[in-house]
């Protein structure tokens, strides 16, 4: 049985969902010490001028060693409206944005108290849209070293770390992006970039991104 350990993530990158699809069991870490500038509260999308970071503001914890499960979302800066507007601006002309838009809107209207609950609810919805049914469970305790044979990606999938060097199992499979002629292909963006651009075919690309599959363009890899 293939087990993978992941951090909680807001609209996680393609790499994250590719590993979720490939694993028999996914453990999402909830007892780690919360760190800023990670995918826990941010995602990266593609706008007309390049990459855009969207960050969910959080309430400053009382202690430096606050667990991720206890991190609360802040209402500062009207971020829900800004994030939804950014998604509409970036992906309004993609083939599948109008098809999926209404699935995302409720998450920016409801006020979730805890970041991890918000991330988890979004993830479950996105997995449904991708026709994925991963076996996902939160960790019961923090394990500095995961069980033998499991894949520990808790700090590997990170916006400031080189996934090419650190994650040998993941391969980038290019796909159509709406600003590609201007920007070139931008790899490993948020899963929403793949979903809005490729729609139902997103699952095929995720399968091509991990392990020995036929590539998205039909070539063997």
d(CA 221, CA 219): 6
Q: Which of 46, 11, 13, 33 is nearest to 160 (CA)?
A: 13
Three-class SS string for 136-180?
EEECCCCCCCCCCCCEECCCCCCCCCCHHHHCCCECCCCCCCCCH
Per-residue pLDDT, 63: 83
DSSP notation for 27-91: EEE-SSBP-SSSTTSEEEEEETTEEEEEE--BPPPSSTT-BGGGPBBP-GGGHHHHHHHHHHHHH
With beta carbons less than 8 A apart as the criterion, state whether 116 and 8 touch: yes
Q: What is the mean pLDDT of residues 195-209?
A: 96
Q: What is the pLDDT of residues 128-150, one digit of tens each?
A: 999 999 999 999 999 999 999 99
Report pLDDT digits (tens) over 76-130. Answer: 889 999 999 999 999 999 999 999 999 999 999 999 999 999 999 999 999 999 9
Report the alpha-carbon angle 42-46-50, nearest 5: 110
Averaged pLDDT score across all residues of the chain: 93
At 221, the pLDDT band (50, 70, 90 cuts) reads very low
Question: Taking Cα atoms as reference points, which of 192, 214, 206 lies closest to residue 88?
Answer: 192
Taking the CA atoms of residue 185, residue 189, residue 192 and residue 196 in that order, the dihedral angle to the nearest 10 degrees is: 0
> In the chain, what are the helix, strand and coil shares in percent, each to the nearest 5?
35, 20, 45
- Tell me if 210 sits within 8 A of 169, measured CB to CB: yes
pLDDT of 173: 96
**Residues 94, 16, 81, 138, CA torsion sign:** positive
Q: What percent of the chain has pLDDT over 70?
A: 95
| Alpha carbon distance 127, 76 (integer Å) | 29
Give the residue from 64, 63, 62, 2 showing the smallest Cα distance to 27. 2
pLDDT tier for residue 214 given thresholds of 50, 70 and 90: very low
pLDDT at 64: 79
174 pLDDT higher than 50: yes
- 91, 43 contact by CB (below 8 A): no
Map tokens 């894949």 to a residue.
151
What is the model's pTM? 0.93
């Amino acid at each position: 049985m293939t087990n993978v350990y992941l951090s909680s993530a807001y609209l996680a990158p393609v790499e994250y969902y590719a590993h979720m699809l490939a694993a028999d069991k996914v453990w999402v870490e909830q007892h780690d010490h919360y760190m800023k500038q990670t995918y826990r509260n941010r995602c990266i999308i593609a706008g007309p001028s390049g990459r855009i970071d969207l960050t969910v503001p959080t309430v400053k914890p009382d202690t430096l060693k606050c667990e991720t499960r206890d991190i609360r979302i802040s209402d500062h800066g009207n971020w829900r409206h800004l994030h939804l507007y950014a998604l509409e601006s970036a992906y309004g002309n993609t083939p599948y944005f109008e098809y999926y838009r209404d699935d995302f809107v409720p998450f920016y209207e409801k006020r979730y108290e805890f970041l991890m609950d918000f991330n988890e609810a979004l993830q479950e919805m996105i997995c449904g849209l991708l026709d994925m049914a991963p076996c996902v469970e939160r960790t019961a305790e923090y394990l500095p070293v995961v069980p033998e044979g499991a894949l520990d990606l808790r700090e590997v999938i990170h916006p400031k770390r080189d996934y090419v060097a650190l994650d040998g199992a993941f391969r980038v499979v290019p796909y159509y992006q709406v600003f590609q002629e201007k920007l070139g292909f931008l790899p490993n963006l948020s899963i929403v970039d793949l979903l809005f651009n490729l729609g139902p075919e997103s699952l095929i690309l995720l399968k091509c991104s991990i392990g020995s599959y036929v590539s998205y363009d039909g070539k063997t890899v």
